[in-house]
């Protein structure tokens, strides 16, 4: 995470898809563990650039984030899930609520 690159995430995702990758976990490292909400704009843009499943990561704070991702997936079906990380770990997102939201 310490080094930056001029390579855009969508360009890398397309290259990896061409190489045969089965799915992509897209982590917004600025939001990872911060519980500030998913970066749905960037995640959706990446999903639109590829055909493989895209899993959102970084920023999930609660059920509202799951519901927002679910709504975005209606327009972009390969948005296939989210990593819930800290929200599950610290108890701010109970597993039963997360499952119900799915």
Whether the model pTM is above 0.85: yes
pLDDT in tens, 88-100: 999 999 999 999 9
Rounded-to-integer distance, Cα 54 and Cα 17, Å? 11
CB atoms within 10 A of CB 6: 5
CA quadruple 62, 71, 58, 28: dihedral sign: negative
Average pLDDT over residues 41-69: 93
């Amino acid at each position: 995470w310490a080094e930056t690159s001029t390579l855009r995430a969508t360009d890398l995702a397309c290259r990896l898809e061409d190489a045969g990758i089965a799915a992509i976990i897209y982590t917004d490292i600025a939001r990872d563990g911060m519980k500030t909400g998913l970066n749905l704009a960037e995640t959706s843009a990446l999903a639109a650039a590829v055909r493989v499943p895209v899993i959102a990561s970084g920023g999930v704070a609660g059920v509202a984030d799951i519901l927002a991702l679910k709504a975005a997936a209606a327009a972009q079906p390969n948005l296939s899930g989210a990593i819930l990380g800290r929200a599950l770990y610290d108890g701010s997102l109970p597993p039963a609520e997360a499952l119900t939201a799915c």
